[in-house]
Amino acid sequence: MEKEPQLYDEWGPEDVVQVSRPEINLVGFLVIDNMALGPGKGGIRMTPNVTEEEVRRLARAMTWKNALAGIPFGGAKAGIRFTGTSVEEKKRAIQEFARAIKIFTPGKYIAGPDVNTGEQEMQWFVEATGNWRSATGKPAKLCMLVFGKGGTKQQCGIPHEFGSTGFGVAHATKVAAELLKLDMKGARVSIHGFGNVGTFTAQHLYNMGAKIVAVADKDGAVYAKDGLDLKKLLKLSSARKPVTEYGKGSVIRPEDFWGVPVDILIPASVTDVINEKNKDHIKTKLIVEGANIPMREEVERELWEKGICIIPDFVANAGGVISSYAEYRGYNPKKMFDTVQKKIIASTTRVMGESLKRGIYPRQVALDIAQRIIKEKKR
């Protein structure tokens, strides 16, 4: 008899919602995992095959991420199955979903950007809920007048497009590299996923002196032993063109990307992108999880036991949710980036320092810390 999946444990989830609108072929999921520290915070991803199980895993990762980052949010996540091609279809899907879960926002759930959603989708979301505070990552020009001491002031959005997640991933990478005695100057880096997270991570690492030698997106992969021209790659990204248009002699098979020997590998694309098919090809000293749950825990542990240092997702990519907190507090972009840098450096130093000192799997170290924070709050 097949074992039934465990639907809940001592941490959650507290609410699991499925939204169905057959007339527009909409299926969506909202999982509010744990609210011990505050309302559930987590983005909305729009992909053709997102599942409730995936959203549950992502919501749990947000529980740990928010606790470790030291911000007053619980863990949550949402997903919408989307196969449309037009802006109108996307807007309708977002707004139908928003109206369906309106009862949960913002008291129990605060939305944000994720895969295939950004500032425009967050504006549509808050327009549908009728509550400015129901989502973060809104356009910078979208403001709300709030009453402050001495009169009124504007509190504006801080969009995902500012690149706070990639900024945080780069700083987490730098901390880990220093702990591993790995010189960032000239360090060879490969990045899987060249969207918001991947592009900003690449820019910041390049400015730190790293060499980006391999990049992959959904259409293919490119490689250059002596380093790729980042400006050229960013131009392609801005024009929404695939990295495979980089130039002759650079294109490699997508499966060969994983075998490129590098110092640092950054999965910044989709769920479970590192898996049984490619895990044995990986040649790197350090993996920094720019994406959420880029591999299952058993794969991650296996790579760790082979001697690869791994910064878990909820440590490395917390910049986005820290930015959300900054927007929620009404910070300006400069204060937001300062907050992201400070918190990412602190949490990465704490987790990776203890892991390397004691020889303990980094995810377990981070989990222990996050769980202690939640347990203390419940007392």
Residue ranges making up the domain that contains 130 = 15-160
Instruction: Kindly give, in sequence order, each residue whose CB lies less than 8 Å from that of residue 59, ignoring residues fewer than 6 positions away.
Output: 12, 13, 31, 32, 33, 40, 42, 75, 76, 77
Share of the chain above pLDDT 90, in %: 91
* pLDDT above 60 (res 151): no
Is residue 339 in a domain?
no
Which is it for strands 188-192 and 211-217: parallel, antiparallel or unpaired? parallel
* pLDDT above 60 (res 111): yes
| 149 and 171 together in one domain | no
DSSP conformation letters of 132-148: GGGBSS--TT-EEEEEE
Average pLDDT value for residue range 177-195: 97
Query: Which residues are marked as active site?
Result: 77
* pLDDT above 60 (res 1): no
| 22 and 149 together in one domain | yes
Give the span between the Cα atoms of 73 and 55, in whole angstroms. 17
Give the count of beta carbons closer than 10 Å to the beta carbon of residue 156: 17
Tell me which of 96, 129, 160 is where a domain ends. Answer: 160
Is residue 130 in a domain?
yes
Tell me which of 108, 129, 160 is where a domain ends. Answer: 160
Which pLDDT does position 205 carry in this prediction?
98
pTM attached to this predicted model: 0.91
| 44 and 87 together in one domain | yes
Tell me which of 111, 139, 160 is where a domain ends. Answer: 160
Please tell me the total count of domains within the chain. 2
